[in-house]
């Protein structure tokens, strides 16, 4: 997994940043992810753990979006703890053109390639 500094000027990407950070703060979670589908709808999620079952926020937001019937992913922003490489691979398998970002401590968006 490679990281590339990317200061997105796309207001829709910045909206995802705001949604992910607000969800993380509101839920007192260590991470959160916000997803925008190919129609512009947005989804948010935090990590889920129940007994032996555990998924990070990246896979959790994919589950929420898939349950809503999405057909494509435009972008995802992950705030807080980094997503697992295996989760990123699953997202890329769902939509190879997805733009993935992580958030720095100063709210810059870093592209995950």
Q: What is the pLDDT of residues 33-89, one digit of tens each?
A: 999 999 999 999 999 999 999 999 999 999 999 999 999 999 999 999 999 999 999
Q: How confident is the model at residue 8 (pLDDT cuts 50, 70, 90)?
A: low
The whole-number pLDDT of residue 17 equals 95
What's this model's pTM, rounded to 2 decimal places? 0.91
Q: Is the pLDDT of residue 15 over 70?
A: yes
Rg (CA), the chain: 13
Q: For residues 17 and 107, is the Cβ–Cβ distance under 8 A?
A: yes
Domains of the chain, each with CATH number or no CATH: 3-112 (3.40.140.10)
The whole-number pLDDT of residue 3 equals 45
Where does 1-113 show beta strands of DSSP type E? Answer: 3-5, 31-37, 42-45, 48-50, 53-55, 73-80, 99-103, 109-112
Least Cα distance to 20 among 46, 1, 56 occurs for 46
Which tokens belong to 84? 């697992």
């Amino acid at each position: 997994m490679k990281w590339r500094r990317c200061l997105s000027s796309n207001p829709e990407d910045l909206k995802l940043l705001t949604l992910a950070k607000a969800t993380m703060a509101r839920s007192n979670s260590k991470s959160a992810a916000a997803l925008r589908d190919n129609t512009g709808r947005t989804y948010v999620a935090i990590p889920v753990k129940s007994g032996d079952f555990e998924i990070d926020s990246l896979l959790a937001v994919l589950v929420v979006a898939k349950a809503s019937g999405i057909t494509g992913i435009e972008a995802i922003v992950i705030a807080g703890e980094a997503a697992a490489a295996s989760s990123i691979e699953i997202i890329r398998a769902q939509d190879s053109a997805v733009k993935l970002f992580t958030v720095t401590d100063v709210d810059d968006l870093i592209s995950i390639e």
